[in-house]
């Protein structure tokens, strides 16, 4: 099996994008590439850059309706109608802009390109930092997302009879992906996100576990405000990772939003990119191909550094370091840091930490009780180290 890694990007993704006043900065992908080039992380016999192929209409209609795609085309040409407003267009988080359709189709095409490279046996790891539009629905835009690249990539993989695990580390719940596969068991959806009581889109409760054939294959791990590295890693290690291994997918799609990092202006978690590196290393340990996408991340320098670190981990150049923090956690100091790709360790108030730990343990306990039995796992299983 090939061990080749592909970085999926092209100049058109740098030139296009959302209006300057929109919090979603599409130049993050190009800035990530620039940083990787500067440190020599896009060279090597098993590393290749690949320009993505834009998603064609037939591919987009695997999930989105023809009517909706027509509405997007019409809206970007200045024809804003009641239908376009009902479809979520023209809002602060889904503004209408020139070239919108082609830009998003190219970003979606990058994830589809990665999926096809994996199916062809050409890629073992692929990273599309311009992807991760997990809120988009068949006829509805939301949360900066117009078309859902991760759903499209997953559908293409399942059409080739691949079992897919979608793991979402973005701070927002993946409501669009959840709806797409809620009644299916050929895709398991695992989302770690800030609790919907305090953050958009207000979904992603532990009780949302799937329907029909999909019962037990939708996993939500909502986390409290202030969740720090140790608590986040505990939740992944004790709830998400056992389910991932038990499902035994053929391919993993990983959405690596960086909006859970401390200092992000649109969310309320206190993570460092060290925990993302650790989790990527855990996912890599199951030995399956990985298609990684970007996602949220509204502190641009922190997001770029986090994605660059993630790429190096995917390439085996910087392993996830064991922080040795367990549920005891760390504390918030400052997000200003110029000491390389890894964030400084943050330290948090012990009283806050205890409240976070109690809530995270409660959520993990409920996941074990309700979902572990579907996958032949013992609800009493303890995966935490130490």
Residues assigned a catalytic role: 135
Q: Residue 384: helix, strand or coil by DSSP?
A: coil
Could you tell me what percentage of the chain is helix, strand and coil, using 3-state DSSP and rounding each to the nearest 5? 40, 15, 50
For the sheet with 164-168, list strands across it: 47-50, 5-8, 125-128, 290-293, 251-255, 164-168, 187-194, 218-223
Do 372 and 237 touch, CB atoms closer than 8 A?
no
Nearest to 270 by CA among 197, 330, 222: 330
251-255 vs 164-168, strand pairing mode: parallel
Q: Report phi then psi at 323, rounded to 5.
A: -80, -20
Residue entry with tokens 């532990």:
206
Quote the tokens at residue 127. 């990273």
Do 176 and 134 touch, CB atoms closer than 8 A?
yes
Quote the tokens at residue 78. 């200045």
Do 147 and 104 touch, CB atoms closer than 8 A?
yes
List, in sequence order, every residue forming a beta bridge with 50; answer none if it has no partner.
8
> How far apart, in Å, are the Cα atoms of 297 and each of 29, 110, 168, 182?
11, 19, 13, 26
> How far apart, in Å, are the Cα atoms of 138 and each of 29, 146, 165?
25, 9, 21
Do 185 and 272 touch, CB atoms closer than 8 A?
no
Q: How far apart are the C-alpha atoms of 105 and 79, rounded to whole Å?
A: 19
Q: Report phi then psi at 154, rounded to 5.
A: -65, -40
Q: How far apart are the C-alpha atoms of 328 and 348, rounded to whole Å?
A: 10
């Amino acid at each position: 099996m090939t061990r080749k890694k592909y970085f999926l990007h092209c100049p058109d993704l740098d030139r296009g994008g959302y209006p300057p006043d929109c919090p979603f900065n599409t130049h993050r992908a190009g800035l990530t590439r620039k940083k990787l080039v500067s440190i020599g992380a896009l060279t090597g016999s098993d590393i290749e850059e690949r320009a993505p192929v834009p998603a064609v209409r037939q591919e987009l209609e695997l999930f989105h309706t023809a009517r909706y795609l027509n509405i997007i085309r019409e809206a970007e040409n200045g024809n804003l109608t009641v239908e376009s407003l009902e479809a979520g267009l023209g809002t602060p988080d889904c503004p209408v802009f020139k070239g919108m359709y082609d830009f998003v189709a190219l970003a979606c095409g990058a994830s589809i390109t990665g999926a096809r490279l994996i199916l062809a046996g050409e890629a073992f790891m692929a990273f599309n930092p311009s992807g991760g539009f997990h809120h988009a629905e068949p006829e509805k835009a939301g949360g900066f997302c117009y078309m859902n690249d991760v759903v499209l990539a997953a559908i293409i993989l399942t059409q080739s009879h691949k079992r897919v695990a979608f793991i979402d580390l973005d701070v927002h719940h993946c409501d669009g992906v959840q709806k797409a596969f809620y009644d299916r068991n050929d895709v398991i959806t695992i989302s770690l996100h800030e609790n919907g009581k305090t953050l958009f889109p207000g979904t992603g409760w532990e009780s949302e576990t799937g329907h029909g054939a999909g019962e037990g294959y939708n996993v939500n791990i909502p986390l409290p405000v202030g969740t720090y590295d140790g608590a986040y890693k505990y939740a992944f290690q004790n709830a998400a990772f056992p389910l991932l291994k038990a499902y035994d997918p053929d391919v993993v799609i990983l959405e690596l939003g960086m909006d859970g990092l401390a200092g992000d202006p649109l969310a309320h978690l206190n993570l460092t990119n060290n925990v993302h590196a650790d989790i990527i290393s855990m996912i890599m340990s199951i030995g399956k191909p990985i298609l990684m996408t970007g996602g949220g991340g509204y502190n641009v320098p922190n997001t770029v550094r986090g994605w660059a670190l993630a790429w190096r981990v995917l390439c085996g150049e910087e392993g996830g370091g064991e922080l040795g923090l367990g549920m005891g956690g760390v504390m918030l100091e400052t997000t200003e840091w110029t000491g390389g790709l890894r964030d400084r360790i943050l330290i948090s108030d012990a009283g806050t930490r205890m409240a976070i730990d109690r809530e995270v343990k409660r959520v993990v306990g409920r996941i074990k009780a309700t979902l572990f039995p579907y996958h032949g796992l013992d609800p009493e299983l303890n995966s935490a180290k130490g």
